[in-house]
Amino acid sequence: MALSYKARRRLSLLILVVGIPAYIVAAVSLVALFERPPLWLELLIYAGLGIVWALPLKAVFKGVGRADPDDKG
């Protein structure tokens, strides 16, 4: 079942306001469990984690910035 435009907008807002900060805290906590790696490796880890969150959520964010396609106005 595909999400409606309004549902995708609401879900994307929820993800950006709640989900991304929670993901950042989880990523930093995960890296902090181990001894601090060299700076280049730490940047590589954070860049990889920054891409990983976006891949499964691509469908939610796709087309959200455009006008509502179902709007008859």
Domain extent listing, the chain: 5-61
Length of the chain (residues): 73
| Model pLDDT, residue 20 | 92
Is the pTM here over 0.85, yes or no?
Answer: no
The Cα–Cα gap between 39 and 56 comes to 27
Name the packing angle between helices 20-32 and 39-52 (round to 10°): 150
Predicted confidence (pLDDT) at residue 70 exceeds the cutoff of 80: no
pLDDT in tens, 19-59: 999 999 998 998 889 898 899 999 998 999 889 988 888 88
Which 8-state DSSP code applies to residue 2? P
